[in-house]
Every structure is written in structure tokens, then in C-alpha cells.
Amino acid sequence: MMQQEPAETGQEGVVGLEEPKKMTREDWRKKKELEEQRKLGNAPAEVDEEGKDINPHIPQYISSVPWYIDPSKRPTLKHQRPQDEEEEQFSNIAEWYKRGVQEKSVSTKFRKGACENCGAITHKKKDCLERPRKVGAKFTGTGMAPDEHDQITLSLDYDGKRDRWNGYDPDDHMRIVEEYSKVDLAKRTLKAQRLQEELASGKLVDQMEREHDSEDEDEDKYADDIDMPGQNFDSKRRITVRNLRIREDIAKYLRNLDPNSAYYDPKTRAMRENPYANTGKNPEEVGYAGDNFARYTGDTINMASTQLFAWEAYDKGSEVHLQADPTKLELLHQSFKVKKEDFKQMQKESILERYGGQEHLDAPPRELLLAQTEEYVEYSRHGAVIKGQDKAIARSKYEEDVLINNHTCIWGSYWKDGMWGFKCCHSMVKQSYCTGDAGKKTMSTSCVPFEEGLEVAEEEEMPKTLLELHQEKMKDKKKKKKKDKKHKKRDSDSSDEEDEAKKREKLKKALLAEDQRQKEVAEIMLLDERKRPYNSLKEVREPTEEEMEAFQMKRPRADDPMASFLFQ
């Protein structure tokens, strides 16, 4: 198997980490050919570090060493063989940490190195669990606490670490049993005393009759107590019936009855979008905001960002995969985040060091600077100003609420057909005078402004038919022919000579220009490709007839046997 080279230092998340390079197509082809030759027996098998041959039919994912063990090693099967483990001496299942304190006699005087608070030799003052004394045992010499047991170090095996009853003391449970048995015995004794007193007084017979009569009532009373959300208790049959769903829960399709709200899929019982999206409610305040709102919470966003980082790292040359190497990808992602933050901080510090401005970043928020005032204002519980002056409303640099020319509404209060106007009279002219309801009636009819009326009048002209357009075209052609016949007789001789002279002159200039162009092209072709000038700023236009004729005349014809006799 071919060993891959460690990747160079790349950008983004692969900076400073040794990653295997992607193999080129040629290397991959050679590798596959070598594998085929080894499988056929034409090439010697690969040898591991112990000198043993590796079966060429073993898959690569078994023979290659995982990256978290040692990525620099060559292919081997050592990691697939059982490893020699040293036998450890595990603790006995009956061994556990000793609880409580030592039962031997308590010390009567303070010992050197003991706790200054309680006087126990097994811990220090900072680890003491007793209440801090006003005067510690070090100075009083009395009230010494007993010492704790010297704890042993347990070495538990796999099962011992996961045993839920490991270290459980059955005596603790027996103490609880004894306590409850004493309470039960006391209750029985007290009940027996009450029965003897009631038998002596004759009240017990009457009480038993009352209890027998109210037996059915008690059943219904206790059955009401059993009712729970989502359950129905039938007292006659003495069974509990489970409903399909809790009745207090609102079905998804009943959240918003608007047909244009979120779509509910009855087959999967899914409503992905927020049913309250059109109502303007905050998704965090409503009880249900759609399945997607709950789906994109928790670690979903972190998983998506990790997957995006894996794709970007793979494009940069790092062979990582979210499902194949999750631990490796997580380590890469964490190192990328740290280096990215360090880079941002370094960039920020360099900019501040060069240009300054740290004092602007340390300034308090603008809201606090502008909101502080020394004016005293009292408000009622409804928000109205009782005493003082209310905060002034910020105004723009433009005039506001200015009424002109008898209008009762401002300009721009009315909009129709892409035009602004006055709402009071529906006038679309800014400097017009207000006409009130009469203007509204006029604008509601077919009357339109003067400029718009001209455009409408032009558009309303009847279009001509194809026959009429053809007849007009034929008339124009006949008139043109008559005029041309009159002028041709007079100017035919003189105009032909002038045209020929002009054409010859233009052709002569075009030939000179073509010679000059061919010389420039020949000089450019002699230059190196990297030193040739660009023609992006040269004017591009359509060539004239004379220029095309000159190009055809001067064009080299290598396949023409008479080309050398053209211009002799």
C-alpha cells in the first residue's frame, strides 16, 4: 500500500494540522495496479513492521492503522490482533470505603497537624465539615472531634464500576424497616384503644350501619378522584379507558383556521410551518410554532455548521468526513474556531494600533448618552405626563404638515395610477388650488390631466390596416422613381466620373493603411508573447468596402501558385 504524504499548511480549518494529501490520478492508478498484481501473485506481498506478509485480499480499512493510534505507521495487522494486557488485582466485591468515624476514644488535647477548628487529625481546617467555631479547638483544647477512618484505595473492574448496588450497606435499609415497623405498631395500639372505648360506650354499632349505607357513594367519590387528563374511569365496570389524545391539547389544524395559513399534512400529521406566521405573533410566545421550529433547536444548528466545515475542509485537501471520522472532524473544527478568533483579534489590534480609535469602542452606548437628561417628568400609570414636559418628537429637515393653496390635506396623502396628489380634492398637480368635492367628482369621471390627455389621444388614434400601409408604400415608391428618372438624365455622366475618382482615392488610402497594419502585425509577432500589447482599448468598427477590398488584395495566398506574380 502506498503511504500518503502529510498535507501542507492550508487555509481555513486545516491550518497547522498534518493531514494526508489527496492522491493524484496517476498515483491512484499505480496503487490500484500494484494491488491487482499482488492479488494475482505477480508482485511480492506487502510486509509489516514485524516482517510478516500481509494478505493482499484483506481490505484496506482493516490493514490501515487508524489515525488516532499512529497515522505515521505503515499498514499492519498488529492492531487487529489481541493485545497483551497485564493482569490487574481488582478489589473484592465486599470491600468498600469505611463510613463514619473511628470508634476508639477521642483525644483530649490538641495534636500538632490536626484541624484547627474541630481537632481531628485526619483533615485540615479548609476541609472541615463542622460549623466554624468562634474559638477553634486549637486554642480551647476542648471539644475535640473523633478522627475519620483511614480510607483504602479501591481498584474496581469493569463490572464493579457499573454495579448499582456496589457499596450498599443492608444495615441502612434495616434501620428504615425498624422505624416503620415501630410507627405501624404504635398505630395499631392506638386503634385498639379507640375500639375498646367505642365498644364500651355503644357507638361502634351505629357507625358500622352508616358506613354500610354510604358504600356506593364512596365508590363514586373515589372514582372522581382517579380521573386524570386523557383517561376515563367507568365506576360500573371498574376499568380505566384511555382516550385517543388528551382533550386539553389543541389539534395542529385547529391552531389557525385561515386556509392560507400553514399546510397540515393529514397522513403524517405534520405541520412544518408556523400557523401564527400571518398574525405577527412571536414564535417563542405561542404554544406551537410548527415542526421546523422545534426541529431547528438544540444541536441541529451545530451539526449543520460542522457538516459545512467538513465540506469546506475536504475542498481544501483534508480528507475528513462527518460520519466516518467524527472525532477528528470535531478536533479540526475546534482548532479552526480558536485560530479564527485569534486571527480576528490580531487583525483588530493591528488596525487599532495603526489608526487608533480605541476610545470610541470603550464609549457607553449611544442610547444612554442621548437618553440622559436632568428634566423632571412625572407620568401616570397610563403613561400620560402629569408634571413636566414630555420628550420632544424628533423631526426631519423637511417641512412637515404644511398646507398650501387652501388644501386641507398635505401633498402626498393621495395615490392613484402611479401619481401622488391631495386627498381632499384628488388633484394630481402640486401647486393647484383645492376644489373640494367638486374636484373628486371631476377626477372620478373620464377627465384626465392635460399632458396625460395628449398621450391618451395619441394612443386612441385608429391604427392603419395592412392594405392601407401597402398602398401608401407603393405611392411613395412611384414618386421616388419619377424624381430619380429626372435627375439621372442630367447628372448621369458627371456623377459617374466623380464616383469612380472617389472610389480610386479611397482604395488607394485603404491599401496604404493595410500595408501599415501588416507591418505592425509582423513586428508584434516577433515579440515575446508576454510582452505583446493588449488591444482591448482599440476602437472596433465595421470595415468599409474599400478596406475589405484592400484586405483581399493584400491577403497572403500560400496555396496560390501565381501569388508571387500578383503585385509585380
Cα–Cα distances (Å) from 317 to 7, 61, 152, 326, in that order, read 8, 20, 53, 17
Question: Mean pLDDT over residues 453-481, rounded?
Answer: 70
Domains of the chain: 12-80 (no CATH), 108-146 (4.10.60), 402-447 (no CATH), 514-527+541-555 (no CATH)
Most confident of 339-353, 465-479, 545-559: 339-353
**pLDDT at position 493:** 61
Q: How confident is the model at residue 185 (pLDDT cuts 50, 70, 90)?
A: very high
Q: Which segment of 39-43, 121-125, 363-367, 510-514 scores lowest on mean pLDDT?
A: 363-367
Grid coordinates representing 111 are 495534636
pLDDT above 80: residue 391: no
Q: Nearest 5 degrees, angle CA 453-CA 457-CA 458? A: 120
Q: Nearest 5 degrees, angle CA 438-CA 442-CA 443? A: 115
Q: 90 in helix, strand or coil?
A: coil
pLDDT tens for 265-298 read: 888 888 888 888 877 787 777 878 888 887 777 7
Grid coordinates representing 232 are 376515563
pLDDT above 80: residue 64: no
CB atoms within 10 A of CB 228: 10
Letter string b/e over residues 193-224, b meaning 16 or more CB atoms within 10 A of that residue's CB: eeeeeeeeeeeeeeeeeeeeeeeeeeeeeeee
Q: Which segment of 3-7, 60-64, 187-191 scores lowest on mean pLDDT?
A: 3-7
**pLDDT at position 12:** 40
Q: Cβ distance 15 to 339 under 8 Å?
A: yes
In 237-371, alpha helices (H): 291-295, 300-316, 326-355, 358-361, 366-371
Spatial separation of the C-alpha atoms in residues 241 and 11, rounded to whole Å: 64
Q: Is 318 exposed, middle or buried (0-12, 13-18, 19+ CB in 10 A)?
A: buried
Total-model pTM:
0.25
Question: Which one is predicted more confidently, 567 or 395?
Answer: 395
Q: How confident is the model at residue 2 (pLDDT cuts 50, 70, 90)?
A: very low
Spatial separation of the C-alpha atoms in residues 44 and 448, rounded to whole Å: 97
Long-range own/partner contacts, residues 397-406 (CB < 8 A, 24 or more apart) = 404/431, 405/431, 405/432, 405/433, 405/434, 406/433, 406/434
Nearest to 15 by CA among 253, 215, 313: 313
pLDDT above 60: residue 1: no
Question: Mean pLDDT over residues 546-567, rounded?
Answer: 75
Spatial separation of the C-alpha atoms in residues 142 and 337, rounded to whole Å: 59
The torsion region of residue 451 among left (phi > 0), alpha (psi -120 to 50) and beta comes to: alpha
pLDDT tens for 521-555 read: 888 888 877 777 766 456 667 888 888 888 888 88
Spatial separation of the C-alpha atoms in residues 320 and 67, rounded to whole Å: 11
Nearest to 108 by CA among 143, 147, 148, 139: 143
DSSP 148: B
Spatial separation of the C-alpha atoms in residues 163 and 92, rounded to whole Å: 13
Q: How confident is the model at residue 176 (pLDDT cuts 50, 70, 90)?
A: very high
Most confident of 103-117, 201-215, 550-564: 103-117
Q: 231 in helix, strand or coil?
A: strand
